[in-house]
Amino acid sequence: MSLDKATVARIAALARIRVPEAELETLAEELSNILGWIEQLDAVDTENVPPMSQAADLKLRWREDVVDDGGIRDKILANAPDPRDGYFTVPKVIE
Amino acid sequence: MTAGAALTDLTIAEARDGLREKTFTARELIEAHLAAMEAARGLNAYVTETPERALASAEEADRRIQAGEARPLEGVPLAIKDLFCTDGVMTTAASRILDRFTPPYESTVTRKLWDAGAVMLGKTNLDEFAMGSSNTTSYYGAVENPWRRRGDNRPLVPGGSSGGSAAAVAARLCSGATGTDTGGSIRQPASFCGVVGLKPTYGRCSRWGIVAFASSLDQAGPITRTVRDSAILLTHMAGFDPKDSTSVEREVPDFEAAAGRPVKRLKVGVPKEYRVDGMDPEIEALWQKGIAYLTDAGMEVREISLPHTECALPVYYILAPAEASSNLARYDGVRFGHRAAGGGDLLDMYESTRSEGFGAEVRRRIMIGTYVLSAGYYDAYYLKAQKVRTLIARDFDAAFADVDVVLTPTAPGAAFAIGEKEDDPIAMYLNDVFTVPASLAGLPGISVPAGLDGDGLPLGLQLIGRAFDEETVIAAAAAIEDRAGFDGSPAARAGPGL
């Protein structure tokens, strides 16, 4: 699979990563090389093979639906880039 | 050799026993390490040093030892990969995007180590978000391997991603360290630095409080100078944790006892598919030596087949980036870490923050992951890779019906120079060709130093075991260690050479 600049720009937008126009070409080439390399898997017969989504054969556990943590607002806000009045902040979204 | 250098040379078992017998104090042991760390800052193994905390812990350790209340790792100085959240101590994942992040909580694995009496010396450097095999992608700069090629002073990579931990252990800047391994990030740097690195079975150690890379693969484990030391540390890192839904409810055995367990009549498998085209003859020779050591220990050698071995790397480079693209979506400049300055709307803020905060390799992997999960490509890439992962795991299941442990080289070569392989991502990815299959299958693996190459650089052998059978892996690794006579003395180390 060879990716063009427009596709790379679309992936970057989906990933919320700004890629300058000048870097699109190089990135398209790098990503195409990696995708070309992983496409060797197409040759493997996976008919009737179930997908594996975790390494351990686990069953998720149940627990009581109770609050067991919390009341630590200031600790949580301590790392925020621009907390105000006990809240996280973002650029204005509603005009 | 000064008394200080002697203290930094002690293994964890020796340090523990010496402290209990009051041959030296925890304060002396910690001070010797802090001095060594200061003298070796050129290696860039540590991102953050925590000397005040270490000295306070040493005081507490000495008090407990005097009072006869010593815990199992009382006073043992450890380095912690800067991917483990440590309460009140900056945790960076070697990324700008976590700039100045100071967790208000402690990871389960480090909590267990402190509860056992271990002392934190500092946080070690790594590849950004643990994505790399050379420790050159760190926002805080590359780590230097304490080893040098004979007659060649160029700095070499320590491997990655736990490169700072492996370098610190090799250079005697700690008695042992924690690492994490997603596709080889404990075992490959251990091989490059001439130390022991153990990746436990997936589910053995809690992932809670470890910065996530690829959640179905990430596992914490020890990096130490002896097999016994890895067994000791693992005993105090492992265990069920309700805070990690993939943590397995299973008793933690006394892994240290396994280091002395006989291996006679156990069967070792040698997978023919690991004999890759163009294999370095020195690696092949090392592998043969490993077979001879295990035969000498009374083990029976069998050739086995793991037919889907060559699929492992491509599978990994679909699944790990896919999981990473999801895990790293949380870094958006809102709740913690770096936020780009400047105006613009919310989307501008997200995009600028993430392009400034992530390095080139992390951006590349997030984009690969985003692509393979995107509409129209999910089945062709992600689902396909998950199915081939099943085949890889089945290969191991079939092999372990006949053998107890599998022996392979850890890496296709020795440490390379800083800057080499930088312009070709795939060449860099090939470093993990022997370690990734066990990661995909969730199996325990260890790298044990087994010899030196023609340039005088260390090479490791890998042993892979059945799920939750770290004990056999430890026992077989100890059998190689006993016979290899590896003295593990890099050019740069605490005391002589620094």
Which of the residues A10, A41, A77 would you substitute to probe the B interface, choosing the one with the greatest number of B C-beta atoms within 10 Å? A41
pLDDT in tens, A37-66: 999 999 999 999 999 988 877 778 888 999
Enter the DSSP assignment of B417: B
Q: How far apart are CA A77 and CA A88, in angstroms?
A: 7
Question: Between these two residues, B496 and B449, which has the higher pLDDT value?
Answer: B449
Cβ burial of B326 (10 Å; 0-12, 13-18, 19+) is: middle
- Would you say residue A94 has pLDDT above 90? no
B350 with A16: Cβ contact below 8 A:
yes
At B421, the pLDDT band (50, 70, 90 cuts) reads confident
- Would you say residue A1 has pLDDT above 70? no
Q: Taking a contact as any Cβ pair under 8 Å apart, which residues of chain B between 408 and 437 contact chain A? A: 425-426
- Please give the structure tokens belonging to residue B283: 């690696």
Q: Which of B492, B418, B420, B340 is nearest to B5 (CA)?
A: B492
Q: Which domains does chain B possess?
A: 3-259+412-484 (3.90.1300.10)
- How large is the average pLDDT for residues B380-406? 97
Cβ burial of B430 (10 Å; 0-12, 13-18, 19+) is: middle
- Would you say residue B51 has pLDDT above 70? yes
Q: Annotated active-site positions of B, please? A: 81, 161, 185
- Please give the structure tokens belonging to residue B290: 């490993």
Residues of chain B contacting residue A89, judged by C-beta atoms under 8 Å apart:
334
Report yes or no: B146 and B157 within 8 Å, Cβ to Cβ: no
Q: Classify each residue of B229-245 as buried b or exposed e, where b means 16 or more C-beta atoms within 10 Å of its C-beta.
A: bbbbbbbbbbbebeebe
Give the pLDDT of residue B2.
46
Q: Which amino acid is at B376?
A: G
Cβ neighbours, 10 Å, residue A80 = 17
Residues of chain A contacting residue B426, judged by C-beta atoms under 8 Å apart:
33-34, 37
Give the pLDDT of residue A2.
86
- Would you say residue B423 has pLDDT above 90? no
